[in-house]
Amino acid sequence: MLLDFNNLNINNLSFQTDFEYSVKNFLEEWFSNGERVKVQTSGSTGTPKIFEIEKKRMINSAVMTCNFLGLKEGDKALLCLPVEYIAGKMMIVRSAERKLKLQTTNPSLKPLEHLNEEIDFCAMTPLQVENSLDKLHLIKNLIIGGAAVSESLKQKMIDNEQLSGTSSLIFETYGMSETLSHIALKKLMPEPEEVFTVFENVSISLDERGCLKIYAPAVNAEVLQTNDLVEIKNENQFKFLGRIDNVINSGGVKIFPESLENLVKKEIPNEAVFMGLQDESLGQKLILVIEGEESGDIAGRISSIPFEKKFHKPKEIIFIEKIPRTPNGKVNRMELYKIIAHSS
């Protein structure tokens, strides 16, 4: 279904699938007289909740992204994310605000499967990108969010670029439902960056724990306190280290699992999650959970990784058929911990 926001009449559109009807419902809510819309959080860091957001703040967020990427009226965008969550809703709002032509396709792991034309702008999850490498060259500006982009996926995108001979602008996003999608972007291609750059009029600082505080008055009137440990490079840039909730305390030493996961994923293609299991002597024992069938080759490759510290090497490697994820594709660490702890 194509939505041309330069001349949109909802009554003239033909809605057929459940996804298209969910798009229709949001369009009606967006163009209604109400000043707010309802948004559902993903539940990746706690219990899912529904809250209301002012439309004017969503418009402010849309303008920041469109300006950053240089999107203009008449450009083509692709919606392949559920509209129950903020990421999908914001794709529609950006299209409405900048009068884009928005093509919709049912959210799936292969959203570009039937794409045969160039698209100016698209937002996808890492899992969707993983299954769409052969079509990425058709997208001029791609933002990836919902979960961290692994080192192995970054390498696959680089390899794919070399094969296709084309180059897309690809960014990793930083944000949450409360920031109305993202407030910062990190370029992955063609020239990869190590830090996120915040949008204009967004201020960042640290709390006493070293966690990021965000003040983005255009999208949220409150100072937002995160549980994300970061290193601030300057007033506009920061490096993500990991979530404080996920920090593992083993033998009195703090270990950031996300950093170790990035290192491991440079060596193996499987999903990999570091966790801390209760241990009498260490407090928490560092383990590594690998998605897939047990493999001596993978275990060997992991054992040969030159970890920076001796205590970064996992005490145990556990293979699991499928790592649980939230509806929008993030690893569900709480559920995974329950599974591993119960089976240990």
Question: Is 205 inside any structural domain?
Answer: no
Q: What is the tens place of the pLDDT at every residue in 135-163?
A: 999 999 999 998 888 877 888 898 888 77
**Residues 115, 251: one domain?**
no
**Residues 144, 274: one domain?**
no
β-pair type (50-54, 76-79): unpaired
**Residues 177, 251: one domain?**
no
Question: Is 221 inside any structural domain?
Answer: no
Give the residue-averaged pLDDT of 254-267.
89
pLDDT of residue 280: 82
Domain that includes residue 332, residue range:
247-343
Of 145, 172, 200, the residue that ends a domain is 200
**Residues 163, 266: one domain?**
no
**Residues 180, 254: one domain?**
no
Has residue 43 got a pLDDT over 60?
A: no
Of 140, 170, 200, the residue that ends a domain is 200
Q: What is the tens place of the pLDDT at every residue in 225-253?
A: 999 999 999 999 999 988 898 899 888 88
Question: Is 296 inside any structural domain?
Answer: yes
User: What domain count does the chain have?
Assistant: 2
pLDDT of residue 48: 63
* Residue 13: CATH number of its domain: 3.40.50.12780
**Residues 172, 258: one domain?**
no
Q: What is the tens place of the pLDDT at every residue in 276-304?
A: 998 888 889 999 999 999 988 999 999 89
pLDDT of residue 288: 95
Question: Is 210 inside any structural domain?
Answer: no
Give the residue-averaged pLDDT of 24-33.
94
**Residues 262, 193: one domain?**
no
Q: pLDDT tier at 49 (50, 70, 90 boundaries)? A: confident
Please state whether the predicted TM-score (pTM) of the whole model is above 0.75: yes
100 close to 159: Cβ distance less than 8 angstroms:
no
**Residues 129, 11: one domain?**
yes
Has residue 14 got a pLDDT over 90?
A: no
Question: Is 37 inside any structural domain?
Answer: yes
**Residues 193, 312: one domain?**
no
Nearest to 22 by CA among 97, 79, 99, 96: 79
Question: Is 24 inside any structural domain?
Answer: yes
**Tokens 């970061």 belong to which residue?**
230
**Residues 56, 111: one domain?**
yes
Has residue 325 got a pLDDT over 60?
A: yes
**Residues 252, 166: one domain?**
no
Question: Is 224 inside any structural domain?
Answer: no
**Residues 33, 180: one domain?**
yes
Has residue 44 got a pLDDT over 60?
A: no
* Residue 308: CATH number of its domain: 3.30.300.30
Q: Which amino acid is at 222?
A: E
Question: Is 268 inside any structural domain?
Answer: yes
